[in-house]
Structure 1
Amino acid sequence: MNKVTSIEPQPTQITEDVVAQFLMDHPDFFQQYPELLGRIKVDTPERGVVSLVEVQVSKLRDRIGDLEEEITQLMSLAAKNDRLFHDFANVQKQLLMCEDFSQAAKVIEQKALSLNLTAHIKIIGHSHPKYHIEKMALDNFSKKFLNGHSAYLGRLRQAERDKLLAYGGLNHSSTELGSFAVLPLGQSTPMGIIAFASHDGGHFEPNMDTLFLEQLVSVFHYLLTQWSKSSHE
């Protein structure tokens, strides 16, 4: 009769990796053995040897500090957005009270100055050279930079600035390192653009929200179309 040989399981070698994996697989381990929390010591560069509980408390304090900083930043951003909302709402109200293009352009230009910006309003075929833009220049800019988007944010090379914004000699020294927000007046077939220029090269960046600017440009574009209809009646 054949003798059956039993195979005894080999003991698992306890290594740091095994212990780490065990604790990961049993996250409630220290709940079952809470007395170990005070006995396990951790060598930290900041405070030397401390208990695991102290390490956890310290990490929790750091996390709370990070959350408080995030909340402060969010509150600051919310307050800034609230101010911007009321500012732009007031500008839109002023625009709706305007009777013609020149009044509306003045409102936008003055608001830009109050924000330390320069507003450039360009309309295809406008009679005043300050506000005129060639259709080809607008089409080329739209294809290269807008391409169906509601705004372009960032820097512009000198040649691009000249074709889009130049009037009476654009001050290159003041805009060479600056940044721009350029929004079309109309999406499918723009009748022009409104550009806001900043001396700060990082003021307008591609990831910025343009909601308030888009609303302002939409109101201005609507008024332009209404004044245009009235002039042809």
Structure 2
Amino acid sequence: MTEMLESFEITENDVVRYLKQHPGFFEDHPNLLKKLHLRHDSGEAISLIERQNQILRKENTDLIDRLNRFIHVAQRNDKLFLNLQTLVLKLLACRSLNDICKTLNTELTERFDVDQVQVVMCHRLTTDGDMWLYCDTNTLQTHFPAAMRDARNECGEFTEQTRHLLFADTDIQSLAVGALTKDDKGVGVIALGSKDAKHFRSGTDTLFLGHLAMVVSQLLLTL
């Protein structure tokens, strides 16, 4: 008889499996909870109920933190949307490319946490007083192949040569680049510059930038 009992020895896995299959076990044996103790981080022993309460409080705190992050992102997006709406309305009132460049510079640096703005075109030469930068098509395709060939907006640090092309000797460290198109062809970019190398990261969402670039691209058709 003893040999038979030994052959059916209960392991920890058996206990774990049983408790998983009977989650109400401790409800039927409440006194047992008072006798079970777990080691706390402080070194003191606490009851299983106290440990469960700690876990629940931790999970509740984590959920509140996640909710607060979601709320922060939502509030930030709402503010961004309203600022973009204001910018678009001001752009619609522009009657020249210089007006567009001036509006972009003023609004983006004042409302969008951008240090510098540069509009670069390959199909519009500049004269004295013009606010955009002219570059030939090959140069733009070399520095911004995604924007010029695929009309794709992107963010990142880019190379020092690219940053210098746009912002000369300034201390711009990261860029957000929006593709400007005309007749389905790349004709330039809107470049937003930040002195913070991590401000425009490669994984930064470009939804709002893309919308802005599309609006400016449509305005180019009327100029």
TM over 0.5, yes or no?
Answer: yes
- Contact 2:120 2:190 survives alignment (8 Å): yes
Residues 204-230 of structure 1 deviation map (CA, whole Å, 9 limit, x = unaligned): 112222222111111111000121xxx
For residue 184 of structure 1, the aligned residue among 154, 179, 182 is: 179
The answer for the alignment partner of 2:115 in structure 1 is 117
Distance 2:97 2:145 in 1: 27
Residues 168-208 of structure 1 deviation map (CA, whole Å, 9 limit, x = unaligned): xx015x12xx1100111129521100110000001011222
The answer for the alignment partner of 1:67 in structure 2 is 63
Compute the displacement of 1:145 (Å). 7.4
Residues 116 and 181 (structure 1 numbering): CA distance in 2 closer, same or farther, change over 3 Å? closer
Residues 120-156 of structure 1 deviation map (CA, whole Å, 9 limit, x = unaligned): 1001132217420110012223436776363111102
Distance 2:195 2:164 in 1: 16
Identify the range of structure 1 (56-65 vs 75-84) with the bigger mean alpha-carbon deviation.
Answer: 75-84
Instruction: Please state whether the residue corresponding to 1:17 is helix, strand or coil.
Output: helix
Instruction: Please state whether the residue corresponding to 1:191 is helix, strand or coil.
Output: strand
Which amino acid is the alignment partner of residue 153 of structure 2?
A
Unaligned runs of 5+ in 1: 1-7, 228-233
Residues 147 and 64 (structure 1 numbering): CA distance in 2 closer, same or farther, change over 3 Å? farther
Distance 2:151 2:188 in 1: 15
Residues 105 and 62 (structure 1 numbering): CA distance in 2 closer, same or farther, change over 3 Å? same
For residue 157 of structure 1, the aligned residue among 156, 159, 166 is: 159
Identify the range of structure 1 (95-104 vs 113-122) with the bigger mean alpha-carbon deviation.
Answer: 113-122
Unaligned runs of 5+ in 2: none
Identity, % of aligned positions: 25
Distance 2:77 2:88 in 1: 16
Compute the displacement of 1:54 (Å). 0.8
The answer for the alignment partner of 2:14 in structure 1 is 18
